[in-house]
């Protein structure tokens, strides 16, 4: 059965720390992996990854995909309290005609 597993489930750090969030997947006919940030409302898009080894970067956030290991990491450097959120990983495959499968999320708390 297709699945997406994120780790850790929860993480508490202090401002300025660097964090690495993990996402591993088993999906039929992988197409893309997406990262979302969810604060108190709807998820907002961060990155989409389709090719191994190419890092996507946006400010202090970066992400990379490893299709051989069936995984991706999301890095956040110099964390700030505003980074506190649930980070969701989703994988798009061709199972059942293009559905989207989400992991359970990693809850990141950044303390001042």
Using CB under 8 A as the criterion, which residues of the chain lie in contact with another protein when the complex forms? 6, 9, 31-32, 34, 41-45, 48, 50, 88, 90, 92, 96-105
Question: Which CB, 72 or 105, lies closer to another protein?
Answer: 105
Contacts with 73 (C-beta within 8 Å, 6 or more apart), sequence order: 20, 21, 22, 23, 63, 64
The CB-of-80 to another protein minimum distance in angstroms stands at 23
Report the phi/psi class of residue 98: left, alpha or beta, with left for phi > 0 and alpha for psi in -120 to 50: left
Q: How far is the CB of 99 from another protein (least distance, A)?
A: 6
């Amino acid at each position: 059965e297709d699945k997406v597993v994120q780790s850790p489930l929860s993480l508490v750090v202090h401002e300025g720390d660097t964090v690495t969030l993990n996402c591993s997947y088993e999906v039929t006919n992988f197409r893309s992996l997406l990262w979302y940030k969810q604060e108190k409302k709807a998820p907002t898009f961060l990155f989409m990854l389709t090719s191994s080894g190419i890092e996507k970067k946006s400010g202090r956030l970066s992400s990379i995909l490893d299709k051989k290991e069936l995984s991706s990491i999301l890095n956040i450097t110099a964390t700030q309290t505003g980074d506190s959120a649930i980070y969701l990983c989703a994988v798009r495959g061709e199972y059942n005609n293009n559905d989207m499968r989400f992991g359970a999320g990693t809850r990141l708390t950044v303390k001042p």
